[in-house]
A and B are shown apart, each in its own frame.
Chain A
């Protein structure tokens, strides 16, 4: 086969290949440097112009220069030549420049293969439903291009139909392979640094504005399905990081958790417990955002001394976790002295007025101190707003005595500051509060806009108790959600504040569809595969079993498709069929054609016996004779023969 001559690329196939280049490289424009997108567009336009003008392609060396220049530019831009982003950029450049040296069908095949690679790279950035649909359209285009390359000039509609037919037949294989191909828990080798993009979510520290900026996002943080009833809305505290250390501006988690005594927390749960499964979006951190407080954890996770559930590895991809939680609990009634000591630490000197206020309370019992602080928030003129004024060095003083406008993070940190200043061990807890049930699929949806911060105080004999100062300022935040607690003009994401009913329904449907997609398409991992297969009756599905059933099913589908397409249609020759129909029609008008009678003889006999039919019959007979015995005449002659049948005058009765 190696001696086979190079097949030149047809002129008419070039637009297809340019469309392939545009469809596969184009959507990357969003995450490429602008000069690269500009290069792609101008290279493709150049190629299109050359095509339109029937001009020769540029010489090899000028292209080599262009490629070398682009690679150098990419290396300079990304300061690397290895990595995911760089790989994508290089593929895009090749895709843009390859059409400029595309002379043979083999070159065109290379463009198609590049296109397949580029399609794959899009999933680094998005794997949503629209991306999936776009995948199908792009594959149809690539398939159509292959058909155009190997099937010659055809109408676009014919190519489209044929591509659709092929894809439809390929679909069962995709489903079988998707279900049964033994899944390997990735990565096969170390991933480059930039394998995962930046994720939004709670961070390891909290400074003024960090949560209120998170609240601007309507993105979903997690979805929860409860096995039974839902807890009260005011009990829905999803615990994230716990902040112990305050430097006057920023709250942080204990810097070196290992130095603290790593004792398992002691929890006394009472009342009913709730079983649920959370689907948590990737946030690149270890906390699992369990409902306060989890009594049963998913495998490969632990409960930190500060009560938050932690996975072993940061959540790089969306994950599914099952918990049991209790909302009535007491935790760590006996707490390590070092922990309590840490929960009283404050930076020296700052915020003198706050310290003075707390000093007035110090003689009271701890419960009374908590009540006094909450009463202050409730009774003084504090405002709950996403747009608090900026605070200076003595942030707590300014907030408590001057501005009095703030968000949950302000209230939580001011409260904890007061408690510590009054010698009550306290800490800040960040997480999410509330959530909204999607009536379409029954999942409780928690968004970034539900991000929240609250406080915990440790009281002797009672352990750690949750105190939410925001609830004192804006009770509707806890009872009804963020949208109800904030006035209309606050900058909330639009998905949170949908007024029209139909819009809300549309959003719910769309999010439910996304959830199904996430779980069944994107979340189909080795564990999920085992679950599904055991539900299908393949109880012990090791990879040998899976491969065997995969092979059998694929063979069965292949056989079915083969049989279906090869099914013999015993259709007689169409020419013969039409002629026989014509003769039968004449027969009904009184002249039967004998078996041995040739078409021309028959037409002469008809001419003698029925002169009125002579002309038509002569025409039909000569058409038939030409089609069947002679030089043919193709579709047009056949159509005319059919017309002859139709033109026969109605029978006389």
Chain B
């Protein structure tokens, strides 16, 4: 099995494509007859025998024309993929259980359109797209996001049977794709607002209202809080500094790890937190997130929501 994989890697040049754009050259396109193509060839063979046996000159001509058509179809199918340039885009984060969509911009420099290009990840549904002549198209290649974390969908299979379906040409571009998958939100009642009191005691070190000094930046801090002027004065080795603010509104909600039922597993508890974040955002209240070892100050808005879910998505991702 390992040898097979090695052979495949060598034969199909598998491996991540670091250089952009990804250009489909001869060496990257493979082609084989389809089942229809094999059927076509056998039909032609039978027809040739018939033409010889019954001495049908036009029958010979018909078979020969169709044979030529088959050869031309092979070139055309190959041609349909050849020279395409692929620019991978940045996928949007999704919840586990949803379809992640990985955008690819396809550029066609030729004066002929490309038709019926099928894109798919392994064991995933395919999408079909046409690219106009000297034009571009964007395709979102779907991949089911099963679990939270970073989703690496692996290589893309780009295949085409156009024009006659007698051959299938394919290529395995492998753009460096990564999609953040949030935990699947589990809808449970929000923690009581009284928990905001509980958070009030501590909110002084995380608020955003009044400037209260600088502290080293954590990964979860929004970049707009980075004190760029202060950073510019310091040398590169030291971590970035962020501005700290004091004060804040009274109506705050702390979504705290300790409020989730302790008897559930890690994933379930993260799902409950994710459900709370979604619900809180819908209610348009300010909310903070507190996990063992991570805290996000209360805020509100799509950016904050994404930040919080992002933290949940990658929480203890390295742990087994």
Chain A residues at the B interface, C-beta cutoff of 8 Å: 1, 84, 105-106, 109-110, 113, 116-117, 119-120, 123-124, 127, 131-132, 135, 139, 143, 146-147, 149-152, 154, 162, 166-167, 169-174, 177-178, 181, 184, 186-189, 191, 195, 317, 521-525, 554, 558, 561-562, 565-566, 568-571, 573-574, 632, 634-635, 638
Contacts and interface: CB of A to CB of B under 8 A. Distances in A.
A167 B34 CA distance: 20
B116 A173 contact: no
A150 B163 contact: yes
B71 A554 contact: yes
Interface in B152-171: 161-166
Given A109-B39, A109-B165, 17 more contacts: A1-B34, A119-B62, A131-B58, A135-B61, A146-B164, A147-B162, A150-B161, A166-B69, A170-B69, A173-B71, A174-B65, A178-B60, A178-B61, A187-B52, A568-B83, A573-B109, A573-B134
B52 A561 contact: no
B165 A521 contact: no
Contacts, number: 175
Closest 6 CB pairs of A and B: A173-B68, A170-B68, A177-B64, A150-B165, A186-B55, A170-B69
A113 B64 CA distance: 15
B246 interface: no
B59 interface: yes
A227 to B, nearest CB: 26
B250 interface: no
A135 B65 CA distance: 10
B47 A123 contact: no
Interface of B: 34-36, 39-40, 43-44, 46-47, 49-69, 71-73, 75-76, 79, 82-83, 107, 109-111, 115-116, 128, 130, 132, 134-136, 138, 161-166
Given A109-B165, A150-B165, A173 B67 contact: yes
B45 to A, nearest CB: 12
B69 A189 contact: no
A117 B109 contact: no
A173 B43 CA distance: 18
A459 B59 CA distance: 53
A37 to B, nearest CB: 23
B57 A188 contact: no
Contacts of A105: 165
Contacts of B128: 152
14 contacts: A84-B54, A110-B39, A117-B46, A120-B56, A120-B62, A123-B57, A143-B164, A151-B116, A151-B163, A154-B115, A169-B75, A561-B75, A565-B75, A635-B132
Contacts of B58: 123, 127, 131-132, 135, 521-522
A120 B47 contact: yes
A116 B70 CA distance: 13
B84 to A, nearest CB: 13
B56 A170 contact: no
A569 B133 CA distance: 12
A569 B71 contact: no
B52 A184 contact: yes
Contacts of B35: 1, 106
Contacts of B67: 173-174, 177
B136 A632 contact: yes
A189 B55 CA distance: 12
A152 B116 contact: yes
A191 B54 CA distance: 8
B134 A574 contact: yes
B196 to A, nearest CB: 40
A166 B135 contact: no
B135 A171 contact: no
B62 A558 contact: no
A635 B135 contact: yes
Contact of B60 (A181, A569, A571): A181
Contacts of B36: 106, 109
Contacts of B75: 169, 558, 561-562, 565
B111 A120 contact: no
Nearest to A132: B58
A146 B40 CA distance: 12
B42 to A, nearest CB: 9
A634 B134 CA distance: 11
A181 to B, nearest CB: 7
Nearest to B66: A116
A105 to B, nearest CB: 8
B115 A151 contact: yes
A63 to B, nearest CB: 21
A635 to B, nearest CB: 6
Contact of B53 (A143, A169, A187, A521): A187
A169 B72 contact: yes
A189 B52 CA distance: 10
A147 B161 CA distance: 10
Contacts of A110: 39
A318 to B, nearest CB: 10
Nearest to B39: A113
B62 A565 contact: no
A562 B62 CA distance: 23
B163 A166 contact: yes
Contact of B79 (A132, A139, A565): A565
